[in-house]
Structure 1
Amino acid sequence: MADHQCPSTIEKSSNTGTPVNATAPKPHNPLENVPAENVSYFTPKQIIPAGTAVVHPDKPYPVPKLFQPLKLRDGHHTMWHHAHLGGIIQRGPGLTIVEATAVTPEGRITPEDSGLWKDSQIEPLRKTVEFAHSQNQKIAIQLAHAGRKASTVAPWINRKAVATADVGGWPDKVISASDIPFDAPHTAIPRCMTLEDIASFKTSFLASVKRALIAGFDAIEIHACHGYLLHSTLSAATNRLPAPYSGSLENRMRLLLELATATRAILPPAMPLLVRIPGTDWMPPESGCWEVNQAIALSLALSRVGVDFLDVSTGALMVQQKVASGPGYQVPFAAAIKAVLEKEGLGEQTKVGAVGMIIDGVQAEQILAAGKADAVLVARAFLKHPGLVWEWAGELGVEVRVAEQHGWGFGQHGKNGVKPGPADSFRG
């Protein structure tokens, strides 16, 4: 996928600063610091990806499901994004997802959000993808449109403020599935989309998919949750779109299913397609909001149009929501969806991920071992603990690979990994 973005022969620098031809055949030397392939700079080849559980033939042990591979089909980013994502990528998560990338400028949440609505945004993302691949890691991008939550200010400035034109906002250009604001006067009043708007959105979304392929991403995720545009089309409480995109559940699912079908047609056959969906809106039944039975119906429909992975979250559509929060509070929705997919014979072709207050490796392993999900997805915990994979491996007694540049200082060599042990055993 990314190889066509790199020259077939790459000039790199040796440790002495002398350019070397990374592709020229050389005699085998066990002391050679072998470079990663198809990368425009030197970094050592991670023959065994970081995050891989190490099992020795003479000392076998059951590998926790958390460390077993899950097989699917096989604005401009800045240096801050590259450093932030790179710090996580090099520590071995199974898949890193670049979140909430806007498909139109009006689809950003805040003026500072990144996007993929024009070609100049490809190259900064390609550099992050290149780094991920240099570490023998996989990376996906989540494409999104904020809908009625667009044109707000950055959350660390004010979590309840419209971004007006004088601070780079576009409150008069916000569109959604209705003209109902999310939280007036703290969010803009949207304009309900016309059929022409819907067609334009689909065109923009698919153009972003094509740019993501050029950037070399390994998978695409469609964001249809957390009260953003596609989520607003799903819920009867927020959908006032013209026919045939409103009314019945079938009609409310139509736009997302059309996008998923069209995206699947663009992607290479072996590339996974992910969708983030809501399990519930955390609202009473009489509200007309989204609930788990509708989420199950959507999951079956998405599976049948070629979606490989469902990332099941909840809420954030309505300010009146009453969330029953707590450790693993969203897992039951993933479990309900997974159970029906398996009952319908779709469990192998579409996997299910659980999210939300999954706080340690033991809890994550219990979720997977109980068959409640096929994978767990973690976000904020990585902000506090970039080495979360290593930390959870220690909790579960797993010998794990880390990046070569890190692992040697902790006893990793050859095909061995870093052995689990007390956190303070490596001080000094």
Structure 2
Amino acid sequence: MTTARPRSPSATGSPAVPAALLVTAILLLAVNLRGPLVAVSAVVDPIRSDLGIDAATAGLLTSLPVLCFGLATPLASAFLARAGLARGVLVALVVLLAGVLVRSLDGLPAAIAGTLLLGLAITAGNVAVPVVIGRDLTRHAGAVLGAYTAALNVGSMLTLSLTVPIAGVTGWRTALASWGALVVVAAVVWWWATRGRDPEPAPAQDTSATAPTAWWRRPVAWVLTVAFAGQAFAYYGVTAWLPQLLRDELAMPPVTAGAAASVFQIAALGGAFGVPVLLRYAGPRATVLVVCAAWTTIPLGMLLAPQLWTAWCIVGGFAQGGGLVVIFSLVVQAARDAAESRRFSALVQGGGYTVAAAAPPVIGAVHAATGDWTAPLLVVLVAIAVLAVAGAIAGGLRATRPVPG
């Protein structure tokens, strides 16, 4: 039995919002859900030198937000249910701005505190966006999810490419703080797109809980969680250490390595827009396998022929962008109503990001123990294999609605 999907606020008494404006707000939000996080990897050496910390401690500035994505997801889901998606995301953007600024203040405690604020804010955004897309943009969910994933990678691309040049002129603190300007722009557009909406309080009756099968007993939720864990572990492991790998293996200077690593983020745009088409014509299971085959080019290519790094970053970047789209599409497809969509989003991202938080320190520790990049790249390959197996299983499970186009 399938429960009816609730109508969007524009259909229930709140002022109508043009779909283009809401999509613009989602894309600007997405730019800020990865950019401030990955910016640290571009200037990790001056941060270590200035703060007097070792590589493991510096890794916390990347891994702590990802740990928040996992552990704080239930809190974020509850907050969004109470505050409503519109108001909750706006509050999250204010907290994100505070985190970006506090992280750039003097001393390690400020850097850690700002990083935690940043992680908590991005967690709320991570949970909210798939729910907003599935609820308010259902007819074009696949395309909007693709654009959302592309915007995530645009944010990463901008920060990886520009943080080092900005830091060369102003210092790493100002370089990291400067990305707060994008947060302000996103907050203004989000407020404009959602102004006048009701706070969308949690419904008195949870339809997913009264359905024949409780949401947390559905196998698809847990299989998708495992698949997302493999996807996120591989992504954050590669993102955190690719600049260093390029410096070590190809003797690239830091500025060049940061720009080169951004190719991995730029190429995700192809996967973000290509995978929705592949989903429509090939189906979820075949799409997952194609994505995973492309993903393997990063670890295998950098092991066997690192001089061809451009090709591996392009194909692997396509895969990492596509992997996110296919998993979120399956979440939207499987959820029976908005409440279940929020819970699925929280479970899949919470479990996946908790595992992914270990990627930067684990890969860094393996590299330190072995002295080269062979073993760390094999760890990434194992994560991709997990994504392939769990994703193929999830893609074969029947859902209540067709894959959104």
Task: Report the structure, 1 or 2, having the larger strand content.
Answer: 1
TM-score, with length taken from structure 1: 0.27
Comparing both chains, which one has the higher relative contact order based on Cα–Cα distances under 8 Å and sequence gaps of 6 or more? 2
Task: Report the structure, 1 or 2, having the larger helix content.
Answer: 2
